Structure 1
Amino acid sequence: MIRQLRILLLLVKMHIRSQMEYRGAFWLDRFAQILSYGSVFATIAILLARFETLGGWNFPELALLFSFQLLAYSLGAAMSFVQLRNIEILVRLGTYDTLLVKPFSPWAYIVFSGLNIGYVGHIILAGALMAWAVAAVDFSWSVSAALYLVGAVISATLLTAAIITMIGATALIWVRSNHLFSIFFGFWELTRYPLNILPGGIQIILITAVPLALTSSVPVGAMLGKPIPILGDWAGPVALLAGPAWVLLAMAHWRYATGKYQGAGG
């Protein structure tokens, strides 16, 4: 076990070095990411300048929601998105078979050998915006509220990584699964807004089948005392438990998909 951990840490170190080989280009790309997502938030700010509130959420509250959503996604996707998106390519080319003979989990190798530090731009923007929003929002902070916020971010991070893992693992069954990421991001973009402004059917989907609302407006809304559709008073506990629960579901799906895998030739 210790030897395997050392190998995985070495893989992470090697991958980070390769990404940082051209540091100027790396940080220029991160700056572009900050500008890109900053422009998205600027659009929300423009709406608030005209209408003052959005679904009962004011500007600092929406800033907290946006930063929470971006931070949780960035942390979760750094451990999963690019790596799991590439499973389809590995399966089609037949190179996934080589991972099955390595002395540790194919999932662990894929994740740690491709740990994406490119999300640091997202994290910088989300962290700075969250720090401002925490100070600006009209909310009486306490130790329990701060602990809830940290726990909710961790749960949302796990939930994001779990869903992406399940999408990637589906390639082991269907060979192609990357089209599912388009659906994922279509719903994910909706979660930077309060859940209550969306149609009822979309609300149900974002809480159940594609529970991305649990990575944004549900935990933040529960903490701020906002009314949460469908979940009501259960919103806070559900948001905390969703991440670990979906990790277990993703583990089961990975084992099932691995059992169905038949190689590139079917």
Structure 2
Amino acid sequence: MRQNLSLYLHLMRMQVRTRLQYRANLVIGWVAQAFGYASTYGTIWIIASRFEKIGGWTWPEVSLMLGFHTLAYSLGALFTLVQLRAMEELVRHGTYDTLLVRPVSPWAFLVFSGINIEYGGHISLGIGMIVWALLHLGVDWSFLTILQFALSLISAALLSGAMLTTIAALALVLTRSRYLFGLYFDFLEMSRYPLGIFAVPLQFLLLSVVPLGFMGYVPVAALLGKPVPFIGEAAPFAAILAGPLMVVVAMLAWQACQRRYQGAGG
């Protein structure tokens, strides 16, 4: 266990050092990503300013949700997205077979050897929006509130990585999975908005089958004391438990798909 942990840390250090060889490109990438997301959120700000509220949420409240959502997504994706989105190619070209003979978990090797620090722009933007929103909302902080916020953020980050892992695992059985990532990002886009603007079936979908509502909406609604459909007063606990539960699902999915993996030749 200790040896594996040392190996994972070594893989991460190597990847980070490689990325830092081109610092100027890295910073430019951070800025470009931040501006890209900021322009999208600017459109939401225009809508909120025009209609005063979106689904009963003011702009500072929406800003807090967007910042929370962006930060949680980026913390989960920096370990998973780039590496696991390439699972289709790894399987089709037989590269994944070479990972099976290594003395470490294929998933762990992919995740820790491919950590993507290019999410710095997302992280900076998310933190900035959270800070700005909290300064304008006057949240009544207490030890329990701070703990709830922190645990909900960790849970949302785990949810982000776990969902990407689950989708990638399907490539071991289906061979192709890129279209599933496309569907994931469609739902991820919808989860940036208050769920109240969607029809009831879609609200249920984003809180159950595709639980991306827990990436930002549910944790922030619980913090602000807003009603959450289908969950009600259990929202604070659900926001904390959603991520760990999705991790269990992802682990089971990966193990099940790997048992059914037949190699590049079928």
Q: TM-score range by the shorter chain?
A: over 0.9
Count how many residue pairs are aligned between Structure 1 and Structure 2.
Answer: 266
Q: 1:9 and 1:138 mapped to 2: Cα distance?
A: 40
User: How far apart in 2 are the matches of 1:110 and 1:90?
Assistant: 11
- Name the counterpart of 1:178: 178
Amino acid at match of 2:239: A
Where 1:89 maps in the other structure, the secondary structure is helix
Q: Tell me, in whole angstroms, the C-alpha distance in 1 between the residues paired with 2:4 and 2:242.
A: 29
Q: 1:76, 1:157 within 8 Å by CA — same for their partners in 2?
A: yes
1:25 is aligned to: 25
1:111-260 correspondence runs (5 A): 111-260=111-260
Which letter does structure 1 place at the counterpart of 2:39?
A: S
Report the CA distance between 1:3 and its aligned residue: 2.2
Of residues 163-172 and 47-56 in structure 1, the stretch that sits farther from structure 2 once superposed is: 47-56
The letter of the residue matching 1:147 is L
Q: Please list, as runs of the form range in 1=range in 2, the aligned pairs for 1:50-69 lying within 5 A after superposition.
A: 50-69=50-69
2:99 corresponds to which residue?
99
Within a 5 Å distance, the mapping from 1:64-103 to structure 2 comes to: 64-103=64-103
Structure 1 residue 222 displacement after superposition: 1.4
| Conserved? CA contact 1:195–1:218, under 8 Å | no
Give secondary structure in 2 for the equivalent of 1:57: coil
Residue 136 of structure 1: how far off its partner (Å): 1.2
CA distance in 2, matches of 1:143, 1:38: 31
State the Cα distance separating 1:231 from its structure 2 match. 1.2
> Which is worse superposed, 159-168 or 50-59?
50-59
CA positional deviation for 1:233: 1.4
Show the counterpart of 1:11. 11
C-alpha contact 1:151 1:240 (8 A) present in aligned 2: yes
SS of the residue aligned with 1:54? Answer: coil
Identity of matched residues, %: 46
| 1:155-188 superposed Cα distances (whole Å, 9 cap, x missing partner) | 0011111110000011111111111011100010
The gaps in structure 2 that reach 5 residues or longer are: none
Alpha-carbon distance between aligned partners in 2 of 1:122 and 1:207, rounded to the nearest angstrom? 24
When the two chains are superposed, the root-mean-square deviation of aligned CA atoms in Å is: 1.0
String of CA shifts for 1:54-105, please: whole Å, max 9, x gaps: 1111111111000000000000111111111111111100011111111110
SS in 1 for 2:21: coil
TM-score by length of 1: 0.97
How far is 1:216 from its partner? 1.0
CA distance in 2, matches of 1:226, 1:216: 13
Report the Cα offset of residue 111 of structure 1: 0.2
How much has 1:29 moved relative to structure 2?
1.1
Q: Which amino acid aligns with 2:246?
A: W
Task: For residue 24 of structure 1, report the CA deviation from its aligned partner.
Answer: 0.8
Which runs of no fewer than 5 residues in structure 1 stay unpaired? none
Q: What SS does the corresponding residue of 1:192 show, helix, strand or coil? A: coil
State the alpha-carbon separation in 1 of the partners of residues 66 and 158 from structure 2. Answer: 18
Match of 1:39 in 2: 39
